[in-house]
Amino acid sequence: MAYITLCKHKNLMEGELAAFSTDDGEVMLIWPDDGELKAFQGTCPHQDVPLWSTFNGRIVTCQFHNWVFDGRTGKGLSPSGCELKQYPLRIEDGMVQVDMMQVDLTN
């Protein structure tokens, strides 16, 4: 696995989304209300546009086409049948690290 460091864990808060551009692409860290921190692809699977501008603590909405995703699972709510890629995430020495080369199939 090739983990990359994104940020300090202490800089993230529950109910927020943080977006990052990396050499491997766009990634967003989502810490949904009453949930756990997760890493998902940072672009909408519909037309590969940035996804992170609209998050209400649980739901991510694509600002361009209004596709809606559950911030806890990445599953599409509207339309259903689609989902965001989830990446393995770990906390090492207080830093959030993500492996964008792997897809976490446990979501």
Sign (positive or negative) of CA dihedral 106, 61, 100, 96:
negative
Q: Which fold has domain 4-98?
A: Rieske Iron-sulfur Protein (2.102.10)
Spatial strand order of the sheet with 76-78 comes to 54-55, 59-61, 68-70, 76-78
C-alpha of 47 from chain center: 17
SS3 call for 18 = strand
SS3 call for 37 = coil
Share of the chain above pLDDT 70, in %: 94
Look at residue 102 in the predicted model and tell me its pLDDT: 78
pLDDT at 5 over 90: yes
Question: Taking all residues of the chain, what is their mean pLDDT, rounded to a whole number?
Answer: 92
Q: What number is the average pLDDT over the span 26-54?
A: 92
Query: Domain ranges in the chain?
Result: 4-98
Look at residue 107 in the predicted model and tell me its pLDDT: 53
Q: How far apart are CA 77 and CA 94, in angstroms?
A: 33
pLDDT at 69 over 60: yes
Q: For residues 103 and 13, which has the higher predicted lDDT (pLDDT)?
A: 13
Q: What number is the average pLDDT over the span 47-66?
A: 89
SS3 call for 13 = coil
Look at residue 52 in the predicted model and tell me its pLDDT: 73
**What pairing do the DSSP bridges indicate for beta strands 38-41 and 25-31?**
antiparallel
Look at residue 104 in the predicted model and tell me its pLDDT: 63
Q: What is the pTM of this model?
A: 0.91
